[in-house]
A and B are shown apart, each in its own frame.
Chain A
């Protein structure tokens, strides 16, 4: 009987330890951790965008504004003027203002989907497939949301390193995320199939 009790206690402890190490996996989904991977007040990136014959070079501010429970994304030129101002709230993007070549419906749609790959609130996703490789060094999360497919490949099972977004077989967007030691996303490189667009973002300032 003693042996049985010891076995049950030790078994229970083992399960608790495993759950503490990988809480998301035990829960079966990764929604307890954002795709960005870190808590942040704001992230400031320098950005280059090429769309058809146009190019934009400037700064992109990603601001987590607690007061309105929204994430604001502001594109501005080096000289300061805001070129595009959008926000992500309740799983929807809203246009605040757009100037010049950003005032383009197709481009705005692409910007929204680009940032959805990065900012998606997983609470709004109905069903997530989350698989970890047997060696526990690879992890893949996949879901369909708003008629599109999102695939997240984790690095070392912890942070998202690559995102693939598919509307159909022809339109595919890939996002590679580089991170620093604090796992803050330092470089975002988007590549596109079927769209004449290039986007890259490099971290300038991180405000926790």
Chain B
């Protein structure tokens, strides 16, 4: 089951040095400080999401849609509504998977890969990846967004994660798009829409039964 839980992962091809229209951030330490300070203010996030897996050589795009909730400090719920219903939640150090009414529970700590990915998911959700020494991080910006390009340097992470791009909105410094590049021209884009920061989210949202 760890494959499900190896959540944001995987890319083999080198990315272009930067996205079109983005320029390198001149003072990355200042940005890192700003992001980290801001992350302390984020207590919850709720959002819809659209995920597109693009396989150009097969001329296929697989679209998934659903809802996303995060609550400080480590509660997370991904709810896929299309193309089928499926829930992945993280709550109190446990991964919970709900599929067709059946719930399975996995201990995050019992598996190092789970633990690494759990940490990564939460950091992406909160926008607190800046300063993470396990990645080589390059920062770019355009008018509306910061782009953090993450390349793992940690050997454990390299097994699971290749290059990932995280786009942070300049308005709230939370992630609004994540791009995971894979081998060849394949990549997955997760776009967060209708995002709400610090709204009230009941704990029961993460209590998957």
Interfacial residues, chain A to chain B (CB-CB below 8 A)? 42, 44, 46, 48, 54-59, 61, 63, 65, 72, 74, 76-83, 97, 99-102, 204-205
Q: Give Cα A65–Cα B60 distance, bound, in whole angstroms.
A: 10
Task: Known contacts A78-B88, A79-B188, A81-B180; decide if A57 and B58 are in contact (CB<8 Å).
Answer: no
B186 to chain A, nearest CB (A): 6
B99, A57: Cβ atoms closer than 8 Å? yes
Q: State whether A44 and B58 are in contact (beta carbons under 8 Å apart), knowing that A80-B180, A204-B83 are contacts in the complex.
A: no
Whether the pair A99, B88 counts as a contact (CB closer than 8 A) is: no
B4 adjacent to A58 (CB under 8 Å)? yes
B167 in the interface (beta carbon within 8 A): no
B158 within 8 A of A: no
CB-CB nearest in chain B for A97: B183
Instruction: Tell me if B7 is interfacial: C-beta within 8 Å of chain A.
Output: yes
Q: Which residues of B contact A (CB under 8 A)?
A: 1-4, 6-10, 51, 53, 55, 58-60, 62, 64, 78, 80, 83-84, 86, 88, 97, 99, 160, 180, 182-183, 186, 188, 190
CB B95 to nearest CB in A, in angstroms, measures 12
CB contact under 8 A between A56 and B4, given known A61-B62, A76-B53: yes
Q: Which of A42, A44, A81 has the most CB of B within 10 A?
A: A81
Chain A residue numbers with a CB within 8 Å of B188 are 79-81
A81→B58 contact, CB < 8 A: no
Other CB < 8 Å A-B pairs besides A78-B86, A79-B188, 10 of them?
Answer: A48-B99, A56-B3, A57-B3, A57-B99, A72-B58, A77-B3, A81-B10, A81-B188, A101-B2, A204-B83
